[in-house]
Structure 1
Amino acid sequence: MSDNKQPSVWEGFKAFLMRGNVIDLAVAVVIGAAFTNIVNAVVKGLINPLVGAVGTKNLDSYSSCLEAPCTGTGADATGIRIMWGSVLGASLSFLITASVVYFLMVLPMAKFLARQAARQKAKEGAKEVIEVSELEVLKQIRDELVAQRGQGRRDY
């Protein structure tokens, strides 16, 4: 009888969940969902009123008629209507989200990581200088000892 016990499904699932990248992904999803609320509030509270100063607050109402007559909404609609306002609204939401993520998260993190790398490189460079100078000092001590031994030595 061999003792090759296969891990149970539960143990495999538990190991999968306890991996760091799964937990990081779960945190990212939760933060992303919360961040979506902030972006939606910015779009509804700031962007839509700015657009509303020029036209209507609701970008979804902007459309063009491809085939006339474009009347009615929903099931009663006639014609072929291109709803470019909703595309514009979604595009603005995407640009705002991307901008906020880049300028408030990605850019500061990149600068932080660059500073950390520079500090680490400087620390390693200083360590190499110290190691080289210690090696040089040891070589000098060795040479001095050899020189002293050579002077005090008498060849008979």
Structure 2
Amino acid sequence: MKGFKEFILRGNVIDLAVAVVIGAAFTAIVTSLVTNIFNPLIGAAFSASSLDDSLIVSIPTLGDGGDAQLLFGAVLGSVIQFVIVAAVVYFCLVLPVNHLLKRTFARQAAEETPTDVPPTDVELLSEIRDLLRAQSAPAAGSGSRAAPLAEGTDRTGANGPLGSR
């Protein structure tokens, strides 16, 4: 019972329940809009009382049952309803959320400083190489000085990767 209680009280479940209820209410509004405004307007263009009564194609049946009817106007009404729902979802939900996320990520990127980024392996190895060179270089006034190796020169020798020291 404890696990069920945690599941029900989890934020995602409550958000989903709210979304379903709001979606059902929104569907009623869109259905009313299409049925009461768009269907009569488009139906008037086709001399019908509503879109459901327009663009009807009758096809004969094989028996005495009369004609079967293809209701293209009703399908067109459903397409209009879908486009309205999609437009409202896009303009009222997707677009504002994307805008908000873009602003949030832009602000976070602006707040990051180069010190927040750790050095790469290559940068660390370059620093170690430079420190080792500085330690192994003889003092400026001493007699012999070894010529520095060019970049990419291999230090392998007979006694291993660093040679004999």
TM-score relative to the length of structure 2: 0.60
Report the equivalent of 1:128. 114
- CA–CA distance in structure 2, aligned partners of residues 61 and 53 of structure 1: 10
Report the equivalent of 1:143. none
Deviation at 1:48, TM superposition (A): 2.1
Report the equivalent of 1:88. 76
- CA–CA distance in structure 1, aligned partners of residues 32 and 50 of structure 2: 14
1:14 and 2:5 are equivalent in the alignment: yes
Contact 2:58-2:67 at 8 Å conserved across structures: yes
Q: Which amino acid aligns with 2:33?
A: V
After superposition, the Cα gap between the structure-2 partners of 1:79 and 1:41, relative to the gap in structure 1 and judged at 3 Å, is closer
- CA–CA distance in structure 1, aligned partners of residues 66 and 107 of structure 2: 66
How many equivalent pairs are there?
Answer: 115
Report the equivalent of 1:25. 16
Q: Which has the larger radius of gyration?
A: 2
Deviation at 1:42, TM superposition (A): 2.2
Equivalent residues in 2 for 1:101-116, closer than 5 Å: 101-116=89-104
The structure whose residues are more often helix, as a share, is 1
Report the equivalent of 1:64. 57
Q: Which residue among 44, 54, 67 is the counterpart of 2:45?
A: 54
Deviation at 1:21, TM superposition (A): 1.4
Report the equivalent of 1:7. none
Residue aligned with 2:37, SS: helix
Structure 2 alignment gaps of length 5 or more: 119-165
After superposition, the Cα gap between the structure-2 partners of 1:11 and 1:130, relative to the gap in structure 1 and judged at 3 Å, is closer
Write out the 4+ residue segments of structure 1 that deviate beyond 4 Å after TM superposition: 129-132
Q: Deviations over 1:80-125 (max 9, x none)?
A: 221222211111111111111111211121111111111111111x
After superposition, the Cα gap between the structure-2 partners of 1:65 and 1:53, relative to the gap in structure 1 and judged at 3 Å, is closer
Structure 1 alignment gaps of length 5 or more: 1-9, 70-76, 133-156
Report the equivalent of 1:42. 33
Give the structure, 1 or 2, with the largest relative contact order (CA under 8 Å, sep 6 or more).
Answer: 1
Contact 1:65-1:80 at 8 Å conserved across structures: yes
TM-score relative to the length of structure 1: 0.63
Superposed CA RMSD? 2.7
Contact 2:41-2:50 at 8 Å conserved across structures: no
